[in-house]
């Protein structure tokens, strides 16, 4: 009966199994659900051809990205003012493309490993992690909903400082394979599965107890300023002066801090038009020995290029230009005529230039800061470009683009993973959403 159900309704079951995947991630954090859902997918690709396995893998991924990235609608249509049809088409295109990676993993596992413990415990985890790795860089990359991010509050987070997010993803996939083996293997295979499952989680727990980096001896007092300006108001001309006053007044309350951090593009104007404003605040902070780091909009008149940047107000050389312009955040991966339409609508974040890979940490308040902007912290390999030199991570963001959806919470979880991965504190400043001080073990301290 159960086998008949799989044969007759396998496609629908695969799609249904993918829909709850976001529940394993923040803000829900039901991380134990993810191995169960993947074990269900493994059951659904048993005893079928590789093509059917790929189709069911695609449906699983489509369900996951449908519910896990629905918030793109808020960014594209509500705040970006793109037509509803265009917004839905872009969402559907992203969902369809992202689902191809889970389809690829299922196809290769079904094609080259027979149904059984070898596929469940080895082939499938390896194929899934390789597909995630490919998804993280191909065509700019979009490593959202990678399995490893669900582990930040679990014992499996212990794999992150050892092998990055992919090691944690592998641990989740192996756990899923072990569950599938327990349900469908013979006695010997079940014994192996129990041992492997226990060892996987026990090793993760052990790794969490090990201080993989040495704590800095000096202390730093930090204040994070969050303007909480709604996205539909942020870029209005009449909001510029009130925003400047707001950040100035909020900052004056924290002159007892060594470092004050403002979020991404805190003041919605080009830095060249804010020289006097920044200089006055920097001078005032210097009297209290307080340094200020803020997100800015940079313009290079020589190349006529715009950059999403981070600067330290004290020190003209302390400038960082964002390297990775993320789809649907700062530019839209669409044909040229659509980009031209966006440009004519004067939509922000649609025409930035990326910074170079040779940028070094900012020298601020006795620290070497590795900055990241918005969804740049999704790309762990790029964060590591400034290591081991950097002593502190700073992420400035504007999660107002995604309203009250789950996206800011998902993004916060990714930031926690970066702190665990690098063994460093991460200071996260957002215009709206979740600003926080994240400890090297991923705990949110403030």
In a domain, 445, yes or no: no
**Predicted local confidence at residue 268, as pLDDT:** 93
CA 333 to chain centre: 18
Tell me, yes or no, if 264 is annotated catalytic.
Answer: yes
Q: How many angstroms separate the CA atoms of 30 and 336, rounded?
A: 41
* Predicted local confidence at residue 73, as pLDDT: 85
- Residues 338, 202: one domain? no
Q: Are 45 and 179 within one domain?
A: yes
Domain count for the chain, please give it: 2
Q: Is residue 443 in a domain?
A: no
pLDDT recorded at residue 432? 87
**88-114 burial, b if ≥16 CB within 10 A, otherwise e?**
eebbeebbebbbbbbbbbbbbbbeebe
Residue 89 lies in a domain: yes
Note whether 148 and 172 are within 8 A (CB): yes
Residues 304 and 165 grouped into a single domain: no
What length is written for the chain? 446
Q: Which of 40, 234, 291, 322 is catalytic?
A: 322
pLDDT at residue 353, as a whole number: 81
Euclidean distance between CA atoms 415 and 92, whole angstroms? 27
Question: CA 229, CA 436: separation in Å to the nearest integer?
Answer: 17
- Closest to 348 measured CA to CA, from 428, 434, 236, 230: 236
| Same-domain check for residues 131 and 276 | no
227 inside domain: yes
Residues 197 and 85 in one domain: yes
Query: Within this chain, do residues 262 and 183 fall inside the same structural domain, yes or no?
Result: no
- Token look-up 């014992």 returns 155
Q: Which of 264, 298, 330, 376 is catalytic?
A: 264
Per-block mean pLDDT, blocks of 10 residues, the chain (446 long): 76 97 98 98 94 98 97 79 85 95 98 90 97 94 96 98 98 98 94 97 97 84 94 90 97 97 95 94 95 94 88 83 75 60 54 85 94 92 92 93 90 97 96 92 92
pLDDT value at residue 348: 44
Active site residue 368: no
Note whether 22 and 107 are same-domain residues.
Answer: yes
The beta strand positions in 301-349, using DSSP E, are: 305-312, 319-321
Same domain, 66 and 160: yes
Domain residue limits at 248:
222-438
How far is Cα 136 from Cα 61, in angstroms, rounded to an integer?
15
217 in a domain, yes or no? no
- Asked if 100 and 22 sit in the same domain, the reply is yes
Most distant CA pair in the chain, distance: 77
- Residue 349 is predicted with a pLDDT of 43
Last residue of a domain, one of 208, 230, 258: 208
Supply the pLDDT for residue 231. Answer: 84
Instruction: Tell how strand 319-321 and strand 305-312 pair up.
Output: antiparallel
Given 146, 175, 208, the domain boundary residue is: 208
What SS3 state is found at 112? Answer: helix
- Burial (CB count within 10 angstroms: exposed 0-12, middle 13-18, buried 19+), residue 384: middle
272: its two tokens = 């060249």
Q: Is residue 417 a contact partner of residue 160, using CB atoms and an 8 Å limit?
A: yes
Is there a single domain that holds both residue 239 and residue 181? no
pTM of the model: 0.92
What pLDDT score was predicted for residue 133? 98
CATH number at 422 reads 3.60.110.10
Answer yes or no: is 310 within a domain: yes
Catalytic one of 132, 234, 374, 376: 374
């Amino acid at each position: 009966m159960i086998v008949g159900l799989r044969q007759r309704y396998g496609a629908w079951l695969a799609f249904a199994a993918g829909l709850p995947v976001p529940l394993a991630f923040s803000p829900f954090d039901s991380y134990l659900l993810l191995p169960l859902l993947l074990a269900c997918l493994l059951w659904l690709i048993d005893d079928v051809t590789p093509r059917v396995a790929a189709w069911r893998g695609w449906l699983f991924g489509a369900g996951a990205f449908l519910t896990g990235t629905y918030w793109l609608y808020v960014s594209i249509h509500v705040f970006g003012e793109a037509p509803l049809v265009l917004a839905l088409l872009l969402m559907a295109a992203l969902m369809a493309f992202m689902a191809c990676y889970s389809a690829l993993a299922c196809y290769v596992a079904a094609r080259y490993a027979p149904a059984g413990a070898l596929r469940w415990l080895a082939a499938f985890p390896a194929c899934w992690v390789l597909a995630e790795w490919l998804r993280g860089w191909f065509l700019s990359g979009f490593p959202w909903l990678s399995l490893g991010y669900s582990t930040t509050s679990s014992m499996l987070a212990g794999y992150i400082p050892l092998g990055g997010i992919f090691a944690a993803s592998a641990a989740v996939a192996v756990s899923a394979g072990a569950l599938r083996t327990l349900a469908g293997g013979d006695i010997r295979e079940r014994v192996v599965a129990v041992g492997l499952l226990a060892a996987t989680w026990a090793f993760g727990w052990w790794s969490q107890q090990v201080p993989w980096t040495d704590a800095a001896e000096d202390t730093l007092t930090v204040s994070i300023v969050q303007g909480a300006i709604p996205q539909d108001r942020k870029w209005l001309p009449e909001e510029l002066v009130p925003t400047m006053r707001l950040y100035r007044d909020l900052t004056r309350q924290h002159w007892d801090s060594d470092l004050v951090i403002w979020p991404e593009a805190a003041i919605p104007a080009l830095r060249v038009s804010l020289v006097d404003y920044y200089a006055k605040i920097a001078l005032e902070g210097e009297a209290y020995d307080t340094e200020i780091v803020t997100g800015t909009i940079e313009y290079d008149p020589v190349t006529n290029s715009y950059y999403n940047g981070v600067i330290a107000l004290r020190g003209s050389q302390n400038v960082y230009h964002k390297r990775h312009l993320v789809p649907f955040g700062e530019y839209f991966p669409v044909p040229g005529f659509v980009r031209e339409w966006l440009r004519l609508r004067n939509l922000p974040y649609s025409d930035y230039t990326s910074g170079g890979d040779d940028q070094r940490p900012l020298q601020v308040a006795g620290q070497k800061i590795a900055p990241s902007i918005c969804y740049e912290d999704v790309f762990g390999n790029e964060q590591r470009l400034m290591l081991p030199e950097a002593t502190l991570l700073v992420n400035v963001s504007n999660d107002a683009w995604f309203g009250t959806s789950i996206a800011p919470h998902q993004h916060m979880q990714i930031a926690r993973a970066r702190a665990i991965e690098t063994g460093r504190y991460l200071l996260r400043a957002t215009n709206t959403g979740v600003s926080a001080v994240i400890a090297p073990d991923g705990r949110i301290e403030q």
